[in-house]
Structure 1
């Protein structure tokens, strides 16, 4: 457990240094032109689409498992 905790702490520390950068020119440009909202909308659409697909796939698998057991 101690090794796992140390691994998580190291992982968090390494990722925080990656994401703790200053201003990013591309993000600033997208934000100033209003295109960032399009990017966010596309990402949310993809995220919810994949989530719905996985949810429906899980339901289909459960139906097949129930059919196999009975």
Structure 2
């Protein structure tokens, strides 16, 4: 049991110590904000589309005879 805990602790500290050079480079050049903006735009579009579909399906369900 203690070996498993030690192994998990070692893996978690190893994963935290690594740096991602691509993310650091994009952050340094200011491009990371463009990536974040595009991801937020896509997510907001998907949420809006799902809301629109929900309204449309609700309207169709109300027209069905009970």
TM-score by structure 1 length?
0.68
Q: Kindly indicate whether residue 32 of structure 2 is the aligned counterpart of residue 36 of structure 1.
A: yes
1:69 is displaced (CA, Å) by 3.1
Consecutive unaligned residues in structure 2, runs of 5 or more: 1-7
1:44 is displaced (CA, Å) by 0.1
CA distance in 1, matches of 2:32, 2:65: 49
CA distance in 2, matches of 1:49, 1:30: 25
| C-alpha RMSD of matched pairs (Å) | 1.8
Consecutive unaligned residues in structure 1, runs of 5 or more: 1-12
Q: Which has the larger radius of gyration?
A: 2
